[in-house]
Amino acid sequence: MLQRISMLRGWSLKTLQAYQTDLLHAQQFFKQHGSDVYQATTDEVSAYIASLIRNNFKNTSIQRKRSGLTTWFGHLQDQGMRQDNPVRGLPKMRPQRRLPRELNESDVERLLDAPDTKSPVGLRDRTMLELMYATGLRVSELVHLQLAHIDRQSGIIRVIGKGDKERLVPFGDESDHWLTQWLKKRPHTLNPFVFPGRGRVAMSRQNFWKRIKKYAASENIQPMPSPHTLRHAFATHLLNHGASLRSVQMLLGHANITTTEIYTHVSRARLHQQIELAHPLGRGGQDKA
């Protein structure tokens, strides 16, 4: 019957094989509980999904298996082989959110120190890295930052973020120092961007990403940072040093605080690691005893 569904839906061979594997897996579970893939009830399907969760299947795998059963039981309904679809009404699995790669404060310092500031390009890169770590700007926000958006006297940057939403973000003395040095060396063009590309356009995100990879490789920083590594470090390090979640949300420009909450997991993981190393009953404390 699965072959017929495959023909009707135009599945590829790979898709058909995946559905077969998932259906056989469900069938094994249902058989152990006195049922099968033709007669399984909503409670039995729910028990099957619960078993996947207990066995640490990824949310994406569970959702794929759930979707396969929905399709299967839907076809049985269409063929008049059963009256209901036992999967409908069951909650869907939310996709697991990946934790951002963590860059500790020592690694950040090494990355910031990597550019050769004696050259204009190195000075520009150092300024960009300093600003990104000091403000938590997205890469796209950083490269599109305009001269008119910086209030040097107040130490405030006006950021135009996602959905053209505006927010004001403070920057500190260190980034102001490098910004001052860069603006002295910055080419005097009609380009409105702080970090100009060729013509009247901004520097590209891809170009800046290549620069980060170059400096990370030169300092042997592992794992290789992502384009938003310094933004992630900005948020995590603020929380590690006592900043409130709400203030970090505002600085990052997150519309929903649940987006910001992912950084609390990184912060807590770091706290647990420190306790393990320092507490008398932790692994580190036991080693010292």
Per annotation, catalytic residue among 186, 228, 232, 237: 228
Residue 209 in this model has a pLDDT that exceeds 50: yes
Determine the Cα angle at 215 with ends 213 and 219, to 5°: 115
Do 115 and 250 share a domain, yes or no?
Answer: yes
Do 258 and 150 share a domain, yes or no?
Answer: yes
Do 221 and 257 share a domain, yes or no?
Answer: yes
Confidence of residue 240 (pLDDT cuts 50, 70, 90): confident
Show the beta-strand stretches assigned E in 77-155: 150-151
- Report the CATH number that the domain containing residue 252 is assigned in CATH: 1.10.443.10
Count of the separate structural domains present in the chain: 2
**Which helix (DSSP H) or strand (DSSP E) does residue 7 occupy?**
helix 2-9
Per annotation, catalytic residue among 126, 138, 211, 232: 138
Q: Specify if 92 maps to a domain.
A: no
Domain boundary among 59, 78, 97: 78
**For 158-170, what is each residue's pLDDT tens digit?**
998 877 888 999 9
Tell me how far apart the alpha carbons of residues 18 and 5 are, in angstroms, rounded to a whole number: 13
Phi first, then psi: give them for residue 104, nearest 5 degrees: -75, 170
Provide the 3-class DSSP secondary structure of residue 138: coil
Q: Specify if 221 maps to a domain.
A: yes
| Alpha helices (H) in 55-89, listed in sequence order | 59-78
The listed range with the strongest mean pLDDT (36-45, 84-93, 280-289) is: 36-45
Tell me how far apart the alpha carbons of residues 13 and 144 are, in angstroms, rounded to a whole number: 46
Q: Specify if 94 maps to a domain.
A: no
Per annotation, catalytic residue among 31, 88, 162, 214: 162
Q: Specify if 99 maps to a domain.
A: no
Class of residue 246 by CB neighbours under 10 A (exposed 0-12, middle 13-18, buried 19+):
exposed
Q: Specify if 207 maps to a domain.
A: yes
Per annotation, catalytic residue among 66, 149, 186, 231: 231
Domain containing residue 12 = 2-78
Confidence of residue 60 (pLDDT cuts 50, 70, 90): confident
Match 């039995």 to its residue by tokens: 44
- pLDDT (0 to 100) of residue 26: 94
Do 239 and 163 share a domain, yes or no?
Answer: yes
Residue 216 Cα distances to 103, 130, 232, 239, 270, angstroms: 11, 15, 16, 24, 22
Lowest mean pLDDT among 83-87, 89-93, 110-114: 89-93
Q: Specify if 65 maps to a domain.
A: yes
Do 43 and 121 share a domain, yes or no?
Answer: no
Quick count: other Cβ atoms within 10 Å of Cβ 139? 21
**Token pair listed for 43:** 């409670």
Query: Catalytic annotation on 231?
Result: yes
Do 270 and 127 share a domain, yes or no?
Answer: yes
Phi first, then psi: give them for residue 157, nearest 5 degrees: -110, 130
Prediction pTM value:
0.58
Do 199 and 242 share a domain, yes or no?
Answer: yes
Do 18 and 67 share a domain, yes or no?
Answer: yes
Query: Catalytic annotation on 162?
Result: yes
Query: Catalytic annotation on 228?
Result: yes
Residue 255 in this model has a pLDDT that exceeds 80: no
**For 99-146, what is each residue's pLDDT tens digit?**
556 678 889 999 999 999 999 999 999 999 999 999 999 999 999 999
Side chain identity, residue 173? D
Per annotation, catalytic residue among 48, 133, 215, 263: 263
Q: Specify if 243 maps to a domain.
A: yes
Nearest to 95 by CA among 66, 65, 61, 70: 61
Q: Specify if 37 maps to a domain.
A: yes
Residue 274 in this model has a pLDDT that exceeds 60: no
Do 13 and 154 share a domain, yes or no?
Answer: no
- pLDDT (0 to 100) of residue 275: 45
Tell me how far apart the alpha carbons of residues 150 and 134 are, in angstroms, rounded to a whole number: 14
Do 127 and 64 share a domain, yes or no?
Answer: no
% of the chain with per-residue pLDDT over 90: 44
Query: Catalytic annotation on 188?
Result: no
